Structure 1
Amino acid sequence: MPQNPFASLEDYIALPRIDAVALSPDGTRAVLTVATLNKDKTGYDRALWEVPAAGGGTPRRLTRSAKGEQGAAFTANGDLLFVSGRPDAEGDGEDEAAQLWLLPAAGGEARAITRLAGGVSGIEAVADAASVAVLSADLLPSADSFEADAKLRAERKKRKLSAILHTTYPVRYWDHDLGPAEPHLLSLELGDLADTIGSLAASDTAEDEPDATTPYPASLPRPRDLTPAPGRTADTAGTALTPDGRTLIAAMRFPEGRAERFAIVSIDVASGEHATLFEERSTYFEGPAISHDGSLIAYVRATFSDPTGPADQELWVAGIDGAAPRRLAEGWDRWPADVTFAHDDTALIVTADQDGRGPVFRVPLDGGAPVQLTTDDHAYSNVSVDRATGALVALRSSWMVPPHPVRIDPDGTVTALATPAPLPAPAGTMTEVETTAEDGARVRGWLLLPEGADAASPAPLLLWIHGGPLNSWNAWSWRWNPQLALARGYAVLLPDPALSTGYGLDFIARGWNSWGVKPYTDLMSITDEVVARADIDETKTAAMGGSFGGYMANWVAGHTDRFRAIVTHASLWALDQFAGTTDSSSYWQEIFTPEAMVENSPHRYVENISTPLLVIHGDRDYRVPIGESLRLWSELNEHFGEDDGSTVHRFLYFPDENHWVLKPQHAVVWYETVFGFLGEHVHGTPAPTVAGLG
C-alpha cells in the first residue's frame, strides 16, 4: 500500500490545518489562520499567513508567537486585528489573558491594544469605513469598571475560589462552565490609538499599594461597554457594524423560561442606547449582516421547532432601522449560513447544505430565485466579498481535500489560492451512491473506496453515521476523518439519512419525533445497496458514529446483528436521563412528544445487543454528558458480563476531553483503539496494545 500522511497517525496529526480566511478591504490580500502541531505534540499553535487574493504568489508568514494568534479581521485602513495571549512588553507578566493586537498595514511590529484582566474573547465586528471595532469580553457581574473587574479576579485567584452561584439556566455549555463572569460587547475607537515614548514606571506606582486598583492604561484606547449588566444577553448569534461604525446590530440572547430566543437589537455605539428591532416569542433571529451602503439588514428567522415538525430557517431583509421587513427566497427550504451582501448590495451571498455539498448561492433582493454559484463536490465556508470586483474569497473542502483558500469569480469560476498548508493526496476515491427508501424517498451518500478495491479484492465496509442530527456529510473534518480508515483498507460509507440537511424540510421531517425508526431504515437501505457492489466484502462490515451518530450506533446495535463491530462515541443512550442533564435540556423536550422520547430511546433494546461495542466518551462533554456512556457501560456489563467480570465490549474514557476529543495525543489513542477494535472483530486479528494506555 503506498505511503501517505493517513497511513501514520503521527504524520496525520502533524499536517498543518487552515482554520479561517479574512479578506483585506482592497481585495488584494487574504490572511489565513494556520494551525500546526506544537513541539510536544499535545496541541496546535496558530499563526497568520498572507497570500495574494487574486491567485498565484507565495504565502508570507505574518505572525509567530508561542501562544499563537486567531480571529483575524481587517480594519478599514488595512491594519490587521487578531486575538493572542502572547506576552505584551507593556503587560504585567507571562501569565496574561488573550488581548486584542494590531499589526499595522504600513509595517512594524504588532502591539497589544487592550489590557483587560479577563482578556478578549473575540472580535465581533469591524466597521468598513471607520476606525471602530467591537469585541467580546467576560467581566464579573459585580464589577462596575475594568479596574474593579481586575481586582475581583485577583481576589478570587488569591483565595483559589472556583465556586459559581447561578440564578439562571443553563450552567454550562458544550465543554465549559458558564460564569461567574458574563459576556459583554465592548466598542473600541482605534483612531485613539497612538504610540508613546516614555517610562512606564511612573504609572505603575499603584501596584505597590496592596489595596489599590491598577488603572486601565492611559496609553491605550479605553473600551466602551455597550452591554452593562448583560446577564447572558451578549452571548450573541451574530453581530455586524454599520460602515460608519455608529450602530451595532446584534442578535442578542434572551431567556424564555429554561429556553432561549434571539432578538435583533440595534445599539448606538456612542451612547450605548439599545433598540429592539425584531423579537418574537419562541423565535430565533440570527446572523445579522449589513449592506455596504449601511441602509439594509439581512438576517435569518426561525421559529422554535416542536414535535409536529422542523421549523424552516427563513432569509429576511429590512431597513437598517427595522423598517419594511420582507422575506427572500420564499419556498427555498435550504438553511442559509455565511450570510453577507454582494458587492453591489443587490443580492445576498450565502452558503447552504445542498445534496451532499455546501455550495455558494446568490439570493437576489428583488425577490428572484436563488442562483447556485458553485457546482463542484465541495462545501464552502468563511466567505468574504471583494467590494471592488464582486469576487468572493472562501475556504473550500470535501471528504477528499481539507479546507483550502479559493477565489470565486462572479461567473462561478473557482481558483485555488496559494497556501502554506500543502494539500495531502487522498488515500482512495470518492463516489456518490444512492438508494430508494421503503417510503420511496431518495437517500444518498458518499462511498470512499481504498486503493485496490475491486471484485477480486473487495474491501471491508465501515458505515460511518454523522452527528447532528441536523447535518450532512459534505465537508472535511480533521476530527472525524474517513481517510484514515481508507489508508487501512476499509471502504467508508457516509450516508445522509432522514434528518439530514440539504434535501429540504420534508426529508428532515421524515425522521422528526422518530429518531430511531426512519434514520435506521434509511441507513440499512443504503448499506444494502453498497454491500451488493462487487468491490465491497459484505461479510466484513462494521458501523460507527459520534453524538447523534453514536445514538444511531446504539440503535443499530439493538436492532440488527449484521455488523461485526460497532463503535459508539459520545452517544445518547437513555433519552429520559439525557434530556434533563444535557447543557440545553429544554430543546429536547420541545422536539419530542413524551411517547416518542420513550419509544426512541436505545436503552430499551439493550438485551437485543449481540455485536461487540466500543464505547467512547470524554468527561468534559456537557452536550452529551458522561452519564450516558456510564449507564450504557453498566447495562452492557449487567446483561453480557461474564462471571469473572470480563466482557467482549470495551470502554475508552477520556477524563479531560470534551464532545470531540481534540488533543492530538488523544486523537492518536482514539484512532489506534478504534482500528484495533475493528481489526479484532472484522478481521479476527488480536487488538494491539495502544501505547500510553498502560
Structure 2
Amino acid sequence: MTLESHPTPFSSLDDYVALPRVESLALSPDGQRVVLTVATLTRDQTSYERALWSVSADGTGIPTRLTRSVKGESGAAFTASGDILFVSARADAAADKPDKLDKDAEAAQLWLLPACGGEARAITRLAGGVSGIAAVTTAATSLVIAADLLPSAADLEADALARKERTEKKVVAILHESYPVRFWDHDLGPAEPHLLALDLADLHDTITGPVSSTEADAPAPYPADLPRPRDLTPSPGRTMDTAGQALTPDGSTLIVALRVAEQRSGRYVLVSLDVATGAQTVLFDEPKVDFESPNVSLDGRQIAFVRSAMSTPVGPADQELWVADLDGGHPRRLAADWDRWPTSLIFDAPHAVGPHAGVTTALIVTADHDGRGPIFRVPLDGGAPEQLTTDDFSYTNVCVDAQTGDLVALRSSWIAPAHPVLIGRSGTVTMLATPAPLPDVPGTITEVETRAEDGARVRAWLLLPAAEDGARVRAWLLLPAGAAQEHPAPLLLWIHGGPLNSWNAWSWRWSPLLAVARGYAVLLPDPALSTGYGLDFIARGWNAWGAKPYTDLLAIVDAAEKLPEIDETLTAAMGGSFGGYMANWVAGHTDRFRAIVSHASLWSLDQFNGTTDDSQYWQSIFSAQGMIDNSPHRAVRDIVTPMLVIHGDHDYRVPIGESLRLWSELAEHHATANGSTQHKFLFFPDENHWVLGPQHAVVWYETVFAFLDQHVHGAGWKRPRLLG
C-alpha cells in the first residue's frame, strides 16, 4: 500500500509527541455510545492529560468531550443505568480540605458522571485512593474496585489514620515478608492490593449528618453519603495481584484469577467469590498451571478462561481456551487444534433469531496471527475458530453489543494509531468518529519473508517466495518516499521486545515512521520466539535466545538487503528489552552493522537472574547452562560496532545494573588510553523501562538519530540541545 509522501507530523518530534492518542474504549449498555479515553499533550509539553469523549457507536456524528480536569480521567466504564464511571485524582469539592502533609490527599478516586447530565461526583474517598475498576456489570448496581490498604489496618478509618501517621513522621520504609518486592517501575508495599465491593444503590445526594469525634487523633468516619466499600479480600498479602476478574450480570458473583504464593513463585487459581459475603470457592486449581483472564457470559451461566501450564527450560507451554458452567462444572477445552495464544476473550452476544435464539454459541477472541492481531469467533461446541477480521490491523478493547452482536474495538497497524471501529457480525469494519484523527504518514509499507537457517519462516513485509519444505521468517518493511534502485535507503533493523511478542500493532513509544520520515527504511521482523506463528515457532528459540532468534534476524536482513530500494552498505540495528538483549548479542557476534542502539537491555544473564523483579519466571524458562551459553557479556571483547546504550534508573524489569555493567565493560575493553570511546550512554535518572515523558522521548529520538546519522551517514556528531 502506498502512503502520503508530503510532510507529516513524523517529520518533527515536537509535532509527533503532540499527536492526540486514543488509549481505551467502553460501550454503553444500550450499544448506542462509545466512550474513548484520549491523551493529549499538556500546555507545558511535559506530560499527557487524559479526558473522556463520547462518540456514536454507529459511525455517525462528531465526538463530544465529557470531562475536563487538570488531573485527567481514565478507566471509563458504564453502569446499568448508563452513568459513566471513571478514575481521577481531580479535586473533590465535597471532601475536607486535605492536610498539606498528606501525600495521599490527591489520590485517585472513583467518580460517576450521570447519564442524565450534570457534574461528576466522587463516589469513593479512600485515603490511599482507588487503583482501578476491577469489574462492573451493566445489569446491576454492584461493582468491584481495586485499592491498596495497609496490612495493619482493620478498616478504612484505621487505614487513613495509619497513612496520616506515616506521612507526618516522613516514614517511607517497607518491611517485606514475601517475594516479589518490586514490579516494573515501582516498589510494592507497604499497602497490599484488595478487592472492594460497592453498591451504587447506597449512593445518596445529601449527607445524613456530620459525625464528630471526641479524640483529636481518632480517624474520621467514612462519609455516610457514599457507598461504603466492603472488603472482599481481608489480609490478602499479594494474592490480590489478580490475572483478571469478571462479575456475573446480577453482580452477585465475582469470578477472579487469584495469585497463590509458593516460595518465590506464584500461580493463579480460578475462584468464585460471593460479593455479599466474601466467601470464596475454588473452581480450578492445578499445580504448575495458571488460570487467567476469566469472563462471564451475558446470561451469567458460563465462564471462559485461559489455562496454561507453566513453561520450563525444556520448552514453552501452550495457552488453552476453556469454558465451564458458572460453578466450574462441565469444563471443556475449545479449539484444541488452534495453535494461537488468546490476547483477550469475551462471550459473543446471544443469537436474536433462529434455532439458537437467546443462546450464546461462541467466544470473541483476539490473538496474534501472522504479523496481525485479528478478531476470531471461537465456537463453544469445539468447532474450528473463524477469523472475523482479515485486514492488516490488530484489534484491542473489544466490546460486544448485547442487542445486535456487533462489536466495537480499537484497531491499529504500523501506519495507523489506535482508532475506534464498529465490526459487524459478518466482519465488515466501519470507522467511528474520533477526536484523534489518523495522521498522514510517510513512505510505504510492504511485507518481506524468507527462509530461516533451519528452514523456518521469517517474515517482515514484501512477500518473497518461501521454501516449500520449511518454516519462514517474516517482517514489516517501511520504506521512505523516493526509495528506489537509483536512490536506495539505509536500513534500520528494529528488534521487538518480549520476547513473546509480535511487531503487529501501533506503538507510540517505538514509532518507525519517525525514522522513515528521516529517510531510513525500517525492518520489523518476527524472529523465533515471536507469537502468532504457532508453538513450534516459539520453541525454536526457547532456552537459546542467541541461536535461532539471531540467525532469523540475519536471514531477514539478508532478504531485505537484496531489494533494490535498500542500500546494503548502510545498515544499523536497534532494540529494547529483549530487543536490547538481541542488539547486544548482535554486537558481539557480527560486524555487519554500522551502529547499534541498545535500550533497556539484558547484558549479563547471571546478574540479571537475581535482580529482575520476577526472577522466578526467568529461572523457569532458562536452564543454568542456557543462561551461560546465551549471555551477551561473554562476547564483549568481540564488539567492534559503535553502540548507543540507553537505560532508565526506574526500570525494575531490566534493572539499570545491566547497562551499567555493559558500559563499564565497553570502557574496559574498548576505550582508548585517554578514556575516550566510540560508544555512548544515554541515562534517564527518573524514567522506567519505556521512557514515557514527552520531552524525554524527544531527547531519546534526537540522540538515536544523531548517533545513527554519525555512523551510518558519516555526519558530524550533533549533541541534542537539552542534553547540555
TM-score bucket (shorter structure):
over 0.9
2:391 matched residue in structure 1 = 376
Instruction: Report if aligned partners of 2:207, 2:224 keep a CA contact under 8 Å in 1.
Output: no
Equivalences for 1:121-140 in 2 at 5 Å? 121-140=131-150
Report the CA distance between 1:92 and its aligned residue.
2.9
Equivalences for 1:72-151 in 2 at 5 Å? 72-93=76-97, 95-151=105-161
Q: Does 1:395 align with 2:410?
A: yes
Instruction: Report if aligned partners of 1:98, 1:121 keep a CA contact under 8 Å in 2.
Output: yes
1:222-268 Cα distance to aligned partner (Å, 9 max, x none): 01100000001111100000000000010011112211100111110
Distance 2:699 2:216 in 1: 48
1:138-196 Cα distance to aligned partner (Å, 9 max, x none): 00000000000000000000011110000000000000000000000001000111211
> Which amino acid counterpart does residue 396 of structure 2 have in structure 1?
S
Distance 1:385 1:139 in 2: 34
Report the CA distance between 1:205 and its aligned residue.
4.3
Of residues 352, 362, 378, the one that matches 1:347 is 362
1:257 matched residue in structure 2 = 263
Report the CA distance between 1:40 and its aligned residue.
1.3
SS in structure 1 of the partner of residue 483 of structure 2:
coil
Q: Does 1:427 align with 2:461?
A: no
Distance 1:531 1:33 in 2: 41
2:210 matched residue in structure 1 = 203
Distance 1:210 1:689 in 2: 58
- Runs of 4 or more, structure 1, over 3 Å off, are none
Of residues 696, 701, 704, the one that matches 1:674 is 704
Distance 2:391 2:451 in 1: 24
Distance 1:656 1:524 in 2: 35
1:153 matched residue in structure 2 = 163
1:594 matched residue in structure 2 = 624
Report the CA distance between 1:203 and its aligned residue.
2.1
Instruction: Report if aligned partners of 1:116, 1:146 keep a CA contact under 8 Å in 2.
Output: yes
1:47-66 Cα distance to aligned partner (Å, 9 max, x none): 00000001121000000000
2:543 matched residue in structure 1 = 513
Of residues 681, 688, 710, the one that matches 1:651 is 681
Distance 1:116 1:93 in 2: 14
Distance 1:219 1:203 in 2: 10
Report the CA distance between 1:687 and its aligned residue.
2.1
Q: Does 1:226 align with 2:232?
A: yes
Of residues 427, 440, 444, the one that matches 2:455 is 440
Query: TM-score by structure 2 length?
Result: 0.94
1:276 matched residue in structure 2 = 282
SS in structure 1 of the partner of residue 378 of structure 2:
strand
Distance 1:686 1:693 in 2: 17
Report the CA distance between 1:209 and its aligned residue.
4.7
Instruction: Report if aligned partners of 1:18, 1:32 keep a CA contact under 8 Å in 2.
Output: yes
Distance 2:168 2:549 in 1: 53
SS in structure 2 of the partner of residue 614 of structure 1:
strand
Q: Does 1:333 align with 2:343?
A: no
Of residues 293, 303, 316, the one that matches 2:322 is 316
Report the CA distance between 1:436 and its aligned residue.
0.3
SS in structure 2 of the partner of residue 357 of structure 1:
coil
1:539-588 Cα distance to aligned partner (Å, 9 max, x none): 10000000000000000000100000000000000001101100000111
Q: Does 1:46 align with 2:50?
A: yes
1:194 matched residue in structure 2 = 204
Of residues 236, 242, 247, the one that matches 2:248 is 242
Distance 1:579 1:405 in 2: 41
> Which amino acid counterpart does residue 515 of structure 2 have in structure 1?
A
Instruction: Report if aligned partners of 2:442, 2:480 keep a CA contact under 8 Å in 1.
Output: yes
Instruction: Report if aligned partners of 2:272, 2:280 keep a CA contact under 8 Å in 1.
Output: yes
Give the fraction of aligned pairs with identical amino acids, expressed as a percent: 70
> Which amino acid counterpart does residue 651 of structure 1 have in structure 2?
F
Segments of structure 1 that go 5 or more residues without pairing to the other structure are none
1:166 matched residue in structure 2 = 176
1:74-123 Cα distance to aligned partner (Å, 9 max, x none): 01111100000000111133642110000111111110000000000000
SS in structure 2 of the partner of residue 402 of structure 1:
strand
Distance 2:546 2:343 in 1: 28
Distance 1:128 1:235 in 2: 24
Instruction: Report if aligned partners of 1:448, 1:493 keep a CA contact under 8 Å in 2.
Output: yes
Distance 2:264 2:489 in 1: 49
Of residues 414, 421, 424, the one that matches 1:406 is 421
1:289-339 Cα distance to aligned partner (Å, 9 max, x none): 000110000000001101111000000000000011100000111011221
> Which amino acid counterpart does residue 139 of structure 1 have in structure 2?
L
Q: Does 1:286 align with 2:286?
A: no
Instruction: Report if aligned partners of 1:471, 1:501 keep a CA contact under 8 Å in 2.
Output: yes
Report the CA distance between 1:280 and its aligned residue.
1.0
Instruction: Report if aligned partners of 2:588, 2:638 keep a CA contact under 8 Å in 1.
Output: yes
Q: Does 1:61 align with 2:65?
A: yes
1:598-623 Cα distance to aligned partner (Å, 9 max, x none): 00000000011000000000000000
Instruction: Report if aligned partners of 2:289, 2:308 keep a CA contact under 8 Å in 1.
Output: yes
2:611 matched residue in structure 1 = 581
Segments of structure 2 that go 5 or more residues without pairing to the other structure are 99-104, 351-359, 457-471
1:317-363 Cα distance to aligned partner (Å, 9 max, x none): 00000011100000111011221000012100010000000000000
Instruction: Report if aligned partners of 1:98, 1:119 keep a CA contact under 8 Å in 2.
Output: yes
2:512 matched residue in structure 1 = 482
Distance 1:646 1:356 in 2: 42
SS in structure 2 of the partner of residue 670 of structure 1:
helix
Distance 2:412 2:598 in 1: 26
Of residues 36, 39, 48, the one that matches 2:40 is 36
2:102 matched residue in structure 1 = none
2:101 matched residue in structure 1 = none
SS in structure 1 of the partner of residue 446 of structure 2:
strand
SS in structure 2 of the partner of residue 422 of structure 1:
coil
Distance 1:336 1:302 in 2: 11
1:361 matched residue in structure 2 = 376
> Which amino acid counterpart does residue 254 of structure 1 have in structure 2?
V
Distance 1:271 1:68 in 2: 34
> Which amino acid counterpart does residue 548 of structure 1 have in structure 2?
F
Distance 1:466 1:113 in 2: 41
Q: Does 1:182 align with 2:192?
A: yes
Instruction: Report if aligned partners of 1:87, 1:93 keep a CA contact under 8 Å in 2.
Output: no
Report the CA distance between 1:197 and its aligned residue.
6.6
Instruction: Report if aligned partners of 1:248, 1:268 keep a CA contact under 8 Å in 2.
Output: yes
1:529 matched residue in structure 2 = 559
CA RMSD for the aligned pairs? Answer: 1.0
SS in structure 1 of the partner of residue 210 of structure 2:
helix
SS in structure 2 of the partner of residue 622 of structure 1:
coil
Q: Does 1:306 align with 2:321?
A: no
Distance 1:102 1:375 in 2: 38
> Which amino acid counterpart does residue 244 of structure 1 have in structure 2?
D
Distance 2:309 2:344 in 1: 20
Equivalences for 1:494-505 in 2 at 5 Å? 494-505=524-535
Distance 1:333 1:276 in 2: 28
SS in structure 1 of the partner of residue 11 of structure 2:
coil
1:5-29 Cα distance to aligned partner (Å, 9 max, x none): 0111111000000000000000000
Instruction: Report if aligned partners of 1:128, 1:242 keep a CA contact under 8 Å in 2.
Output: no
Q: Does 1:558 align with 2:588?
A: yes
CA spacing shift, 1:384–1:155, aligned 2, 3 Å: same
Instruction: Report if aligned partners of 2:207, 2:225 keep a CA contact under 8 Å in 1.
Output: no
SS in structure 2 of the partner of residue 675 of structure 1:
helix
